[in-house]
Amino acid sequence: MAETNALPTGFGELEVLAVGMVLLVEALSGLSLNTLTIFSFCKTPELRTPCHLLVLSLALADSGISLNALIAATSSLLRRWPYGSDGCQAHGFQGFVTALASICSSAAIAWGRYHHYCTRGQLAWNSAISLVLFVWLSSTFWAALPLLGWGHYDYEPLGTCCTLDYSKGDRNFTSFLFTMSFFNFAMPLFITITSYSLMEQKLGKSGHLQVPALVAKMVPTINAINYALGNEMVCRGIWQCLSPQKSKKHQAK
């Protein structure tokens, strides 16, 4: 289905269009919310803190995921993949980089919150910048490996987007999948659960538990709501960005 208008085997036209519409809604909502978060960070001085830099990293990663979904939505609505084999590899790589960066940024945020609430120490800029650089360099490294022969990017069953080829069961792919999963799924999950558990124990005893529940953080829209719109300071910054006249009056006072 990569270069033709033929429907993929086992899928009807309505099913392909339905998938395209769902992806389009998810992509646009994720892009809108996360772009607003990024814009508010750039425009609101109060948000330019080391802790919010980690949230910015997550918003950038989730914007990339939404952009990837937008390309997949367009292809689904066209009922074909119009970008060729090289485009498939680029699409798979970009989607995998941003997905891994989103997972690792979520773990970094969890650790940053633990550091802030439990050690009573402010996260330093050097630490925050180092974390963000590590997240993106590590994600790029693991996403590049399939391009170099360890693992493989290919079309998904619908044929309108590309990701890791999970249908391969050979030793090459299995070794890549287990190694990658340990460093990019198991370890971030361990860090996230441990950080929030320690916060719950410490803040729960002191009666100042204000930590949001641990939820699925891979969905860009959920991330934007959980980390950005659920943060009072970020919401204030977004409101100031959307109300420039009011913001100017506030600054004048």
pLDDT, one tens digit for every residue, the chain (253 residues): 455 555 556 666 777 788 788 888 888 888 888 888 888 888 878 778 888 899 899 989 989 988 998 998 898 888 888 999 999 999 999 999 999 999 899 899 889 888 887 887 788 899 999 999 999 999 999 999 999 999 889 988 778 888 888 777 788 888 998 999 899 989 998 998 898 888 888 776 554 444 632 233 334 444 544 544 444 444 444 455 555 544 444 444 4
Query: Whole-prediction pTM value?
Result: 0.79
Domain holding 137, by residue range, is 11-198
Q: What is the SS3 assignment for 95-124?
A: HHHHHHHHHHHHHHHHHHHHHHHHCCCCCC
Q: What is the token pair recorded at 150?
A: 């360890």
Q: Measured between alpha carbons, how far apart are the two ends of the chain, in Å?
A: 61
**Given this model, what pLDDT does residue 89 score?**
95
DSSP state of 225: I
Q: Is residue 66 part of a domain?
A: yes
Rounded (5°) CA angle 121-101-182: 95
**Given this model, what pLDDT does residue 180 score?**
92
Q: State which H helix or E strand residue 27 sits in.
A: helix 13-43
Q: State which H helix or E strand residue 153 sits in.
A: strand 153-155
**Given this model, what pLDDT does residue 104 score?**
92
Q: Is residue 180 part of a domain?
A: yes
Q: Is residue 110 part of a domain?
A: yes
State the total domains in the chain: 1
Nearest to 93 by CA among 20, 57, 142, 25: 142
**Contact (Cβ atoms closer than 8 angstroms) between residue 104 and residue 135:** yes
**Given this model, what pLDDT does residue 11 score?**
64
Q: Is residue 222 part of a domain?
A: no
Q: Is residue 132 part of a domain?
A: yes
Q: Is residue 238 part of a domain?
A: no
**CATH code for the domain in which residue 95 is found:** 1.20.1070.10
**Given this model, what pLDDT does residue 32 score?**
86
Q: Is residue 223 part of a domain?
A: no
Q: Is residue 106 part of a domain?
A: yes
**Contact (Cβ atoms closer than 8 angstroms) between residue 43 and residue 123:** no
